Amino acid sequence: MSGFETREAQKPGRTTSAYDWDFLVQDDRVHRSIYADPEIFAAEMTHIFGKTWVYIAHESEVAKPNDFVTRKLGLRPVIVVRDSDGRLRVLYNRCTHRGTTLCRQERGSARNFQCPYHGWNFGNNGKLRGVPWPDGYTQDIRDERFNLAQVPRVQSYRGFIFATLNMDAPDLLNWLGPITRPIDEWLDRNPGGKIVVCEANRFKYKGNWKLAYDNSSDGYHVIYSHRSLIETENRMTAEPNKGMAYYKNSPDSLAMYVQYMGNGHHFKDKRPNLQPRQGGLWALESLHPGMEYYESEFRSRYGERADSLLDLAGSEPVNINIFPNLSLLGNHIQVFEPVSVNETNAVWYGTRIEDVNGDIGDALEGINALRMRTQEGFPNFGEVDDLANFEQIQRGLDCLEDEWIYMNRGYGLPDRIKHNADGTISGPATDEVFMREYIKEWKRLMSGPAHLTIQREP
Amino acid sequence: MSAQIKDPSRSSYYVDGDFYRTLIERFGDWQDDERIVNDHIARDMFRSLLEREARLLDQHRYEDWLRMFTPECVYWAPGRPDGGDPRTEIAVIFDDRRRLEDRVFRLRTGYAWSQAPRSRTVRLVTNVEVFSTADANRRMVRANFLISEFWDDETRRLSGWCGYNLQHAVDGWLIQAKQINLIDCDQCIRNPSILL
């Protein structure tokens, strides 16, 4: 890899061979300890959030040289920066002198990062530029061991930046595999295939991070966990037809489906429920601030184009879940951040569009204003109820002797699951097949070795 | 357009470009020392209004609370400490009249698991300052708040300050806009499901 010469392999300090992984993860159920054991969580921080690709930021957040955001890779504080030469880097946010957190801002623009403790000063490529009174050292302070540690592999897919400490992980594109198709479709409905991150609805809950990842393609919980949302969205309609009301009767008989996409990724596709026409997405939207004004304005001003413009404000009914921590849903980029075995942050970054091709013109302000309001709906009226349920799962896990969590919906029923030519596996909307499959990948990663590597500029 | 269709509880025609522009302008730079209303009777009247609002919320009297707002109101918790621009940024909350009624409706369904059982709250409202505007029938009010919320084994505090745009109507002053500035609005919050 150009620009890097040193590699420091982490000692395999934590071995996971003491666990009987085949006992903990079975075909149709998993043991409570995978959500509740602090030692397993600690191992996940190397074997998952280290050994596999992890989503770390979106390129629109670090659009220009010197732009940075501070994030975590698992529990490691990092600075995601576009360095002065325009290269994306993920620097450990840790002064090499005494380990102090170097940058305490959440975002900004900086050519250098200076440690507030003793004043060591690093360029945004991670190289140590200078220290106060260097003549006080016998060693050459320019030795590369004093340059910031950084994540050796940083790759983007269409704006989504991923990082891994595993030199043997497959190339990002290969690792994403078939899930690139829904990602492409999710992006390509926006002008120029682009979106810009714009603030977030931010939650934390007292539960394990996998409870959110398990839930992200779960079509079984919708009608009950989100009952208050669905009743609210349809309070003015005689026959419920807004939002996720299509789950109401027999969801498994509909054309929507869940799909396991390989490498831990899974996908829930509710687009088959849409009317197949321009405006079909908009027709499903429940009631949002400004909706009637902008709709009537667009119809009178833009005629037939109004439907496609309104669709840009509508929430795409998909859940594209990229293991272990990214979920694209509606127009959101949701990120799961593990905090401890029983604490997780769930950040719902909003997205807006830009007039990339110059054909949106005056409609842009209205589309984005509507798009902000449609995005605020679910986090406010839906997510809060899921999070309350996740917390109560975590509490239930304290029942030590009642050991099993089931993922068995659809398991063993003939003809329910389809194995597709591209290696993906699909099932009806409420099937838990995606959970059974992704947790096998989790088991594979957890049970094998983790050889992690950091690098420093020479 | 008939009055029925334009009922802001049923449809949302008033949240248009001008509405956003006016809102951003009003909440841009209004805390002007020159405009502080020092008359203690006026200040006390607004203080009472905010104390009543806090009590109605603590007592879960949401329908009565809704009546403190103008028909074409906004209830807004920005996602950035500087307020930001709700046309291009996600807010923690941005409700028009209908969505605010949705919010109350949802809590009343009995299926809002984030509020089952519901939170108990005690709200302190302090540091009330009243500012005049160019319109004699409009005032801006700033107040700090501290909400003690008990939910699920935990008593936590939500704090910040609110900016109000109050409009004089036939039967007194009504809230046209309430901007809730949580001090940790850009941080992860556990179960943000109570009315603020």
A26-79 pLDDT tens trace? 999 999 999 999 999 999 999 999 999 999 999 999 999 999 999 999 999 999
Structure tokens at A458: 């020479």
Distance CA B47, CA A362 (A): 43
Q: What is the predicted pLDDT for the residue at B157? A: 97
Q: Which DSSP symbol is given to B87?
A: T
Q: Give a yes or no: residue B13 inside a domain.
A: no
Q: Give a yes or no: residue A15 inside a domain.
A: no
**Which band of pLDDT confidence, cut at 50, 70 and 90, is reported for residue A380?**
very high
**Which band of pLDDT confidence, cut at 50, 70 and 90, is reported for residue A142?**
confident
Return the closest-CA partner of residue A243 out of A258, A251, A253, A232.
Answer: A232
Mean pLDDT, range A98-109, rounded to an integer? 98
| Total count of domains within chain A | 2
Instruction: Give A335 to chain B, closest Cα distance, Å.
Output: 12
Q: How far is CA A452 from CA A5, A56, B115, B146, in A?
A: 16, 17, 43, 46
What does residue A231 show for φ and ψ, rounded to 5 degrees?
-65, -40
CB within 8 Å: A227 and B12: no
CA-based end-to-end distance of chain A: 12
Q: Are residues A159 and A203 in the same domain?
A: no
Which of B90, B94, B109 has its CB closest to that of A232?
Answer: B109
Contacts of A105 in chain B (CB under 8 A): none
- Element housing B189 (H / E): strand B189-190
Chain mean pLDDT for chain B: 96
CB within 8 Å: A388 and B191: yes
- B65 pLDDT exceeds 50? yes
Chain mean pLDDT for chain A: 95
- A13 pLDDT exceeds 90? no
- Determine the structural domain holding residue A158 and report its residue range: 53-165
Q: Give a yes or no: residue B6 inside a domain.
A: no
- Mark which of A134, A165, A196 sits at the end of a domain: A165
Q: Give a yes or no: residue A427 inside a domain.
A: yes
**Which band of pLDDT confidence, cut at 50, 70 and 90, is reported for residue B3?**
low
Q: Give a yes or no: residue A273 inside a domain.
A: yes
Tell the residue number behind the tokens 């490529």, with chain if given: A125
What residues 123-182 of chain B have any CB closer than 8 A to a CB of chain A? 152
Q: Are residues A339 and A242 in the same domain?
A: yes
CB within 8 Å: B86 and A369: yes
Contacts of B96 in chain A (CB under 8 A): 289-290
**Which band of pLDDT confidence, cut at 50, 70 and 90, is reported for residue A277?**
very high
* Model confidence pLDDT, tens digit, residues A401-419: 999 999 999 999 999 999 9
* Model confidence pLDDT, tens digit, residues A327-365: 999 999 999 999 999 999 999 999 999 999 999 999 999
Instruction: Give B137 to chain A, closest Cα distance, Å.
Output: 25
CB within 8 Å: A200 and B93: no
C-alpha dihedral (B69, B74, B79, B84), degrees to nearest 10 = -130
Q: What is the predicted pLDDT for the residue at A8? A: 64
% of chain A residues with pLDDT over 90: 93
Contacts of B87 in chain A (CB under 8 A): 365, 368-369, 372
CB within 8 Å: A202 and B187: yes
CB within 8 Å: A372 and B80: no
Q: Are residues A109 and A141 in the same domain?
A: yes
Looking at the complex, does the CB of residue A223 fall below 8 Å from at least one CB of chain B?
no
What CATH number is attached to the domain comprising B134?
A: 3.10.450.50
- B1 pLDDT exceeds 70? no
Q: Give a yes or no: residue B163 inside a domain.
A: yes
Q: Are residues A152 and A266 in the same domain?
A: no
Q: What is the predicted pLDDT for the residue at A1? A: 38
* Model confidence pLDDT, tens digit, residues B106-141: 999 999 999 999 999 999 999 999 999 999 999 999
Q: How many CB pairs under 8 A join A and B?
A: 144
What residues 11-40 of chain B have any CB closer than 8 A to a CB of chain A? 11-17, 19-20
**Which band of pLDDT confidence, cut at 50, 70 and 90, is reported for residue A226?**
very high
Looking at the complex, does the CB of residue B91 fall below 8 Å from at least one CB of chain A?
yes
Q: Are residues A221 and A118 in the same domain?
A: no
Q: What is the predicted pLDDT for the residue at A391? A: 98
Q: What is the predicted pLDDT for the residue at A14? A: 60
Mean pLDDT, range A109-138, rounded to an integer? 96
What residues 301-360 of chain A have any CB closer than 8 A to a CB of chain B? 345-350, 352
Looking at the complex, does the CB of residue A376 fall below 8 Å from at least one CB of chain B?
yes
Which of A200, A236, A373 has its CB closest to that of B94?
Answer: A373
Q: Are residues A184 and A157 in the same domain?
A: no
CB within 8 Å: A292 and B13: yes
Looking at the complex, does the CB of residue A237 fall below 8 Å from at least one CB of chain B?
no
CB within 8 Å: B89 and A198: yes
Q: Give a yes or no: residue B195 inside a domain.
A: no
Q: Give a yes or no: residue A233 inside a domain.
A: yes
Distance CA B79, CA B92 (A): 5
Q: Is there a cis peptide before residue B86, judged by omega within 30 degrees of 0? A: no
CB within 8 Å: A384 and B111: no
Distance CA B150, CA B123 (A): 12
Say which amino acid occupies B168: H
Angle between helices A363-378 and B17-26 (to 10 degrees): 70
Which of A201, A365, A384 has its CB closest to that of B193?
Answer: A384
What CATH number is attached to the domain comprising A158?
A: 2.102.10.10
Q: Give a yes or no: residue B10 inside a domain.
A: no
Q: What is the predicted pLDDT for the residue at A3? A: 43
Instruction: Give A429 to chain B, closest Cα distance, Å.
Output: 23
Instruction: Give B127 to chain A, closest Cα distance, Å.
Output: 28
CB within 8 Å: A289 and B152: no
Answer for the pair A48, A324: CB distance below 8 angstroms, yes or no: yes
Q: Give a yes or no: residue B101 inside a domain.
A: yes
* Model confidence pLDDT, tens digit, residues A301-320: 999 999 999 999 999 999 99
DSSP readout, A264-306? TEEEEE-GGGS-SSTTHHHHH----TTHHHHHHHHHHHHGGGH
Q: What is the predicted pLDDT for the residue at A139? A: 80
Residues 6+ apart with CB under 8 A from A12: A449, A450, A451
Q: Where are the alpha helices (DSSP H) in A333-432?
A: 363-378, 384-396
Distance CA B149, CA B194 (A): 9
Which of A297, A365, A376 has its CB closest to that of B91?
Answer: A376
Distance CA A95, CA A109 (A): 18
What residues 243-302 of chain A have any CB closer than 8 A to a CB of chain B? 287-294, 296-297
What CATH number is attached to the domain comprising A266?
A: 3.90.380.10
CB within 8 Å: A292 and B114: no
**Which band of pLDDT confidence, cut at 50, 70 and 90, is reported for residue A138?**
confident
Q: Are residues A62 and A105 in the same domain?
A: yes
Q: Give a yes or no: residue B76 inside a domain.
A: yes
Contacts of B10 in chain A (CB under 8 A): 236
Return the closest-CA partner of residue A106 out of B140, B51, B22, B80.
Answer: B80
- Determine the structural domain holding residue B53 and report its residue range: 18-182
What residues 52-81 of chain B have any CB closer than 8 A to a CB of chain A? 74, 79-80
Overall pTM > 0.90: yes
Looking at the complex, does the CB of residue B117 fall below 8 Å from at least one CB of chain A?
no
Distance CA A369, CA A328 (A): 20
Best B85, B94, B100, B188 member to test A by mutation, with max A CBs in 10 Å, is: B188
| Total count of domains within chain B | 1
Best A70, A197, A199, A354 member to test B by mutation, with max B CBs in 10 Å, is: A199
* Model confidence pLDDT, tens digit, residues B138-151: 999 999 999 999 99
Q: Give a yes or no: residue B2 inside a domain.
A: no
CB within 8 Å: A199 and B109: no
Q: What is the predicted pLDDT for the residue at A140? A: 83
Distance CA A241, CA A248 (A): 9
CB within 8 Å: B109 and A380: no
Instruction: Give B156 to chain A, closest Cα distance, Å.
Output: 14
Which residue in A has a C-alpha nearest to residue B189's C-alpha?
A: A203
Q: What is the predicted pLDDT for the residue at B8? A: 97
CB within 8 Å: B87 and A369: yes
